[in-house]
Amino acid sequence: MSVLIFEKSQPGRRGITFSNSSDQYKTRIDKRFLREEPPALPEVSELDVIRHYTSLSQKNFSIDTNFYPLGSCTMKYNPRLNEKVASLEGFANLHPLMAQLQYGGQLTQGALRLIHEIEQYLCEICGMKAFTMQPMAGAHGELTGLLLIRAYHEDKGNQKTKILIPDAAHGTNPASAAIAGYDCITIPTGENGCMDMEAYEAALGPDVAGVMLTCPNTVGLFNPNIDKVTELAHKHDALVYYDGANMNAIMGRARPGDLGFDVIHINLHKTFSTPHGGGGPGGGPVGVSEKLIPYLPISQVEKRKDGTFTLNYDCPKSIGYLSAFYGNFMVNLRAYTFMLRLGGNGMKRASDMAVLNANYVRAKLADKYNLMYPRICMHEVVFDASKQAENGVHALDIAKALLDKGLHAPTMYFPLVIKEALMIEPTESESKQTIDEFIEAMRELADIAETDPDWFKETPRTTRVSRVDEVAAAKNMDLAY
Amino acid sequence: MPFVPHTPQDVEEMLEAVNLQSVDDLFEDIPRQFRFENLDLPDGKSEMEVFEYIKRLSNQNATQLTSFLGAGFYDHYIPAAIDPIVTRGEYLTAYTPYQPEVSQGTLQSIYEYQSMICRLTGMEVSNASLYDGGTALYEAIMMSMRVTKRSKILMCSGVNPIYRKMIETYTTNLNIELIETPIKHGQLERDVIGEQLDKSIAAVIMQNPTFFGSVDDYSDVCNMAHEVGALAIMSVYPISLSIIKDPGSMGVDIVTGEGQSLGIPLGFGGPYLGFMATRKKLARKMPGRICGTTVDSKGRKSYVLTLQAREQHIRREKAMSNVCTNVGLMALRSVVYMALVGKQGFVEVGQECFNRAEFAKEKLNAIPGVQVKESAPTFNELTVELPVPAKNIMPDMIEKGYAAGWPLDRYYPEMKNYILMAFTEKHTQEQISGMCNALEEVLCRF
């Protein structure tokens, strides 16, 4: 247990100093507007700070230190060039309002060009007609997409109240639909691991505004009937939403736009290698088909005839402002850097190898762990630890035991349709040798689950802390020092 | 090809293991007519080429101007020690700390972040952060509706118009009524709000300092809100909390704000840091991730994400919010900033911002025809009246090397002659005098 930074505080100790600070003007402001005591921030030296946060960092697993097969999260390598370009002063020190001063963006041509170019790249990768870079995370993109669907229907005078969502979907899908003012209808998963077509057709009707799909889905499967799904929706003038969480599987292999999707969000922190940062910031740009372009958020970057760029605020049908300015620009910058490095050929290669890695894991573990859907998977494979659970070893136990081997846990208990789900996504970053080590570890754990199931109860043993009491945390509510 | 380690032999062996002839066979499930051959994009480029290209783009942005732009987003000094910490791979490339055993570093830093936000705002609990200041304020509105089961919101006109635009977008399809409460001479009109407040109001939304820069003590407004069972919500500028009265001691119930000024680069609009803090009794109604303390199976003190039963991955469409992330790395930047600057340094930063603005007031008021709106005290931002439309002076000022501020006519067409100017500890007296001299010269031409 580390001491808190507050506990290292000594009255009068300084980190950063500022020259010649004075309170010469303070008499100009009435005392009743002023704070009585300054905030009790720590009083520590710069070395204290460096040592404290360096030591804390060493208590984390990360991509840089560990294999991280966390399904659905696409923990691929984050190239350092992304960070280098993000430190360029021409971007880092650029005030967002600089684009709105006189001359229509003349002061920020480089930044506006970059936004335009990344939008063009995403349009080509996804087969969409336009993109907005405003949404600041995947769930924010979902909300944007649903607001667009809603604006489209309202503009057409359609009376629609429902969004159809498969039961295997990410929890953010229904949460976003609810905030956009829609009722959510859950569609069950069929025997082939994809959305049940009969139930889907039965649920479709004139009151359905849209369908939200993850493709490949959260079981890691590509629905071979996907074109029929979009076609059926369109018959009812329902729009089809593509949750791009799993885009890493199909770059250069298939495009959501071609498959009939009307609106899509991309998780830049997954497919396009921007760092997860211990929980954000993300980037969730949204792409649309032709018919949704009029509703895109304000502002939009436009290319003028003379090749320069400007911001358009005159969008009468727009859903409005999603973020204060142009989304998480510095995240977009990193993602674009990655796209340029890979190029069209590299993206296809990345998806190919991500899918090969997942299938390799599938093939090598299929005799030890149950596969609910034993067929070719996409970039992730979902096992069901039900065989092990019969001995009292659950998905959670296997996940915790992996931590002791220096391997991050797979995603557990998701999707909800698989009881003891262990969702494994190696990503294209990992070599066969690393994956072989992981396979070896998983096989060993399956064997121990047979011979000594109790051994799992004490795992993890080698981490900084062992299993923590989550119930006590919710009860204590100790949330600040 | 970059970032893919597979050798031809690896691929061969792996294909054999999965019993397939070629990589193409992996994609058999994609309907044939939709299989895509090749993206119409250039091939990949070397690291050196990409860096040179991006650098060229960065050079096409006017960061060499001396800027007095603010409007909620400020150019403060970023201490050198922040980047080496937050670019450590163990922070940068970690996922959300759902596995507490191997995420104690991230978790403890979140706990420290929450503690510091509480100390700044005078609140008791904070979440682990939200996307930005605007979305945080929207989430606070939603929270107040959950707490009070009411749906009318009083929105003071001193709240940043950019946030208000965002909130309009988010609430369009929800059953919420937003009612504007005016400010006059920089201060909230107490008589008007007194009449507007009744038992149908969920919350009063204030901003301190206001968008126009004026500072107020809202203790009486908080009391008025509480008398009718409404919540008091305040959006704040964290640096101002070094010297300006904290919302906690005014009686505010939910505090939100834009944390960009706490060590986060302007970065052309993001990523930034939305913070939210509240009273302990409202903690369970607060959206977003929250970190708390607990013990491990050996009784050791540990950190873990808690109160997750409120969130979308459990509650799905019944969740309090669809927000699935915080902005972990930005929260980390702010916590390292606050630790480095420390108790005394933080006050110095605040004082210097205030001093610069007071110095600028003198200089600006000395220019014929220019007047700083000065009916209320200010912190570091000034609404300045010019004798001509503010837009008209911008080209000449830019020519002289100054982005003098933000003309207010974009959101306030009636304020054509007004410009919003922000001052921070980074501005020298020479820069401020220089800008004022340039302004005087430019105005002579009109």
- At residue B375, the pLDDT reads 76
For A102, which of B71, B102, B394 is closest by C-beta distance? B394
Domain contains B23: yes
CA-nearest residue to A148 within chain B is B169
Whether B261 and B115 share a structural domain: yes
CATH number at residue B258: 3.40.640.10
Contact A338, A273 (CB under 8 A): yes
Evaluate whether B336 touches A16 at the Cβ level (below 8 Å): no
Residues 194-253 of A with CB under 8 A from B: 221-224, 226-227, 250-253
In this structure, what token pair is assigned to residue A380? 């992730």
Task: Tally the domains of chain B.
Answer: 3
- Residue of chain B nearest A126, judged by CA positions: B39
Which of A31, A136, A272, A295 to mutate to probe the B interface, most B CBs <10 Å?
Answer: A136
Q: What is the pLDDT of residues B143-178, one digit of tens each?
A: 999 999 999 999 999 999 999 999 999 998 888 999
| H-type alpha helices, A272-394 | 329-365, 386-389
Out of B20, B75, B323, the one facing A139 most closely (by C-beta) is B323
Complete edge-to-edge strand list for the sheet that includes strand B125-126: B125-126, B274-278, B254-258, B231-236, B201-208, B152-156, B177-181
Under a CB-based contact definition with an 8 Å cutoff, are residues B209 and B379 in contact? Answer: yes
User: Strand ranges (DSSP E) for B199-311?
Assistant: 201-208, 231-236, 254-258, 274-278, 291-295, 301-305
Residues of A in contact with B43 (CB under 8 A): 343-346
Query: Rounded distance, CA A235 to CA B52, Å?
Result: 49
The whole-number pLDDT of residue A23 equals 74
Q: Using the structure block, give the residue that is written with the tokens 């409460």.
A: B181
Q: What is the mean pLDDT of residues A87-91?
A: 97
Could you tell me which chain B residue has the CA closest to the CA of A337? B50
3-state secondary structure of B154: strand
Do B261 and B114 sit in the same domain of this protein? yes
Closest approach of B196 to chain A, Cα-based (Å): 25
Q: Which residues of B touch A323 (CB under 8 A)?
A: 131-132, 134-135, 166, 269-270
Q: Which of B62, B343, B358 sits opposite A38 (nearest CB)?
A: B343
Q: What are the E-state strand segments in A217-326?
A: 239-244, 263-266, 286-288, 300-303, 309-312
Q: State whether B296 and A469 contact (CB < 8 Å).
A: yes
* Cα–Cα distance, A265 to A249 (Å, whole number): 15
- Whether residues B322 and B206 share a domain: the answer is yes
Residues A169 and A172: their CA atoms lie apart, in Å, by 8
At position A179, the amino acid (one-letter code) is I
Q: Biggest alpha carbon distance in chain A?
A: 78
pLDDT at B151: 96
User: What would the two tokens of residue B61 be?
Assistant: 């942005």
User: What is the amino acid identity at position B406?
Assistant: W
List the one residue out of B195, B85, B346 whose CA is nearest residue A39: B346
Minimum Cα–Cα distance from A333: chain B residue: B54
Q: Are B327 and B69 in contact (CB under 8 A)?
A: no
Q: Determine contact: A177 vs chain B, CB below 8 A.
A: yes
Q: pLDDT tens digit string along A299-343?
A: 899 999 999 999 999 999 999 999 999 999 999 999 999 999 999
In a domain, B45, yes or no: yes
CA distance B333 to B85: 8
Give the span between the Cα atoms of A412 and A424, in whole angstroms. 9
Looking at CA atoms only, how far is residue A224 from chain B in angstroms?
5
**Tens-digit pLDDT profile for residues A66-82:** 999 999 999 999 999 99
Neighbours of B49 (CB within 10 A): 12
CB contact under 8 A, B312 and A175: yes
ipTM (interface predicted TM): 0.96
State how far the Cα of A216 lies from the Cα of B74, in Å rounded to an integer. Answer: 42
| Domain at B409, CATH number | 3.90.1150.10
* B232-245 confidence digits (pLDDT tens): 999 999 999 999 99
Whether B185 and B279 map to the same domain: the answer is yes
Instruction: Tell me the angle at which helices B47-58 and A329-365 cross, rounded to the nearest 10 degrees.
Output: 150
| Tokens (6 digits) for B3 | 């970032």
Please list every residue in chain A whose beta carbon sits closer than 8 Å to the beta carbon of residue B345: 14-18
Q: What percent of chain A has pLDDT over 70?
A: 99
Q: Which of A359, A241, A458 is nearest to B16 (CA)?
A: A359
- Domain boundary among the residues B278, B308, B336 is at B336
Q: Is the dihedral of CA A386, A390, A392, A398 positive or negative?
A: negative
Q: What one-letter code names the amino acid at A12?
A: G
Q: What is the pLDDT of residue A103?
A: 64
Residue B216 in tokens: 């107020």
Band of residue B310 on the pLDDT scale cut at 50, 70, 90: low
Side chain identity at residue B274, one-letter code: G
User: Is A255 a residue whose pLDDT tops 80?
Assistant: yes
Cα separation, A113 vs A98, whole angstroms = 15
Residue of chain B minimizing CA distance to A137: B325
Q: Is the peptide bond before B389 cis (omega within 30 degrees of 0)?
A: no
B58 domain-assigned: no
Q: Which residue among B283, B315, B347 places its CB closest to the CB of A38?
A: B347
Q: Which residues of A touch B266 (CB under 8 A)?
A: 92-96
Q: What value does the mean pLDDT take over residues A219-239? A: 94
Rounded (10°) angle between helices B328-365 and B429-444: 60
Interface of A with B in 146-175 (CB under 8 A): 147, 150, 170-172, 174-175
- pLDDT grade for B219, boundaries at 50, 70 and 90: very high
Judge if B395 and B284 occupy the same domain.
no
- Contact check, Cβ <8 Å, A473/B36: no
Provide the 8-state DSSP code for B47: H
Last residue of a domain, one of B336, B353, B386: B336
Q: How confident is the model at residue B366 (pLDDT cuts 50, 70, 90)?
A: very high
Residue numbers in B near A75 (CB within 8 A): 93, 95
Nearest CA-CA distance, residue A351 and chain B, Å: 10
Q: B97 and A58: CB-CB below 8 Å? A: no
Residue B47 shares a structural domain with residue B139: no
Find, in chain A, the residue whose alpha carbon is nearest to that of B10.
A432
Please report whether residue B57 resides in a domain: no
DSSP symbol at B377 = -
CA B229 to CA B53: how far, in whole Å?
A: 57
Domain termination site, one of B317, B336, B355: B336
Taking an 8 Å cut-off on Cβ atoms, the answer to whether A65 and B89 are in contact is: yes
Helical residues (DSSP H) of B59-180, grouped into ranges: 82-86, 89-92, 104-121, 133-148, 161-171
Averaged pLDDT for residues A270-290: 96
Q: Which domains does chain A have, with CATH numbers?
A: 5-57 (no CATH), 82-341 (3.40.640.10)
Same domain, B240 and B370: no
Which residues make Cβ contacts (< 8 Å) with residue A312, sequence separation at least 6? A299, A300, A301, A302
- Please compute, for residue A346, the number of CA atoms within 13 A of its CA located in the half-sphere on the CB side: 20
Contact across the interface for B84 and A330, Cβ inside 8 Å: no
| Residue A348 near residue B38 (C-beta atoms within 8 A) | yes
For residue B171, what pLDDT is reported? 92
Write down the H helix ranges in B122-242. 133-148, 161-171, 190-196, 219-227
Q: What is d(CA A343, CA B72) in angstroms, rounded to the nearest whole number?
A: 38
Same domain, B94 and B176: yes
- CB-CB under 8 Å, A34 with B216: no
Q: Are B27 and A219 in contact (CB under 8 A)?
A: no
Nearest residue of A to residue B23 by CA position? Answer: A352
Strand order through the sheet with A421-424: A370-371, A381-384, A421-424, A411-412
Based on the fold, state whether residues B105 and B197 are members of the same structural domain: yes
Q: Is residue B194 part of a domain?
A: yes
Q: Does residue B326 have a pLDDT over 90?
A: no
Can you give the pLDDT at residue B429?
94
Asked if A335 reaches chain B (Cβ–Cβ under 8 Å), the answer is no
Sequential DSSP letters for B319-368: SS-------HHHHHHHHHHHHHHHHHHHHHHHHHHHHHHHHHHHHHHTST
pLDDT tens for residues A239-252? 999 999 999 999 99
Dist. CA B370–CA B362, nearest whole Å: 11
Instruction: Outline where DSSP puts E strands in A138-245.
Output: 162-166, 183-187, 208-214, 239-244
pLDDT tens digits for B118-134?
A: 999 999 999 999 999 99
- B291 vs chain A: nearest CA distance in angstroms? 6
Q: Is B36 within 8 Å of A254 when comparing Cβ atoms?
A: yes
Q: Which residues of B touch A78 (CB under 8 A)?
A: 92-93
Mark whether B189 and B219 lie in a shared domain: yes
Task: Write out the residue range of the structural domain in which residue B27 sits.
Answer: 8-52
What pLDDT is stored for residue B314 in this prediction?
65
- The pLDDT tens digits of the residues spanning B388-413 come to 999 999 999 999 999 999 999 989 99
CB contact under 8 A, A320 and B341: no
How far apart (Å, rounded) are the C-alpha atoms in residues A65 and B106? 15
| pLDDT for residue B318 is more than 80 | no
Residues B209 and B244 in one domain: yes
Nearest CA among A65, A148, A117 for reference residue A301: A117
- Identify the bridge partners of residue B184 per DSSP, sorted by sequence position: B187
> Exposed, middle or buried by CB within 10 Å (0-12, 13-18, 19+), for B52?
exposed
Interface probe with B: pick from A10, A41, A355, most Cβ of B within 10 Å: A41
**Residue B215 and residue B243 in one domain:** yes
Let me know how long chain A is. 481
User: What 8-state DSSP symbol labels residue A162?
Assistant: E
Interface contacts (A, B; CB < 8 Å): 699
In a domain, B425, yes or no: yes
- Which amino acid makes up residue B175? N
Q: Residue A161 and residue A238: Cα distance in Å, rounded?
A: 11
Q: What is the mean pLDDT of residues B325-337?
A: 95
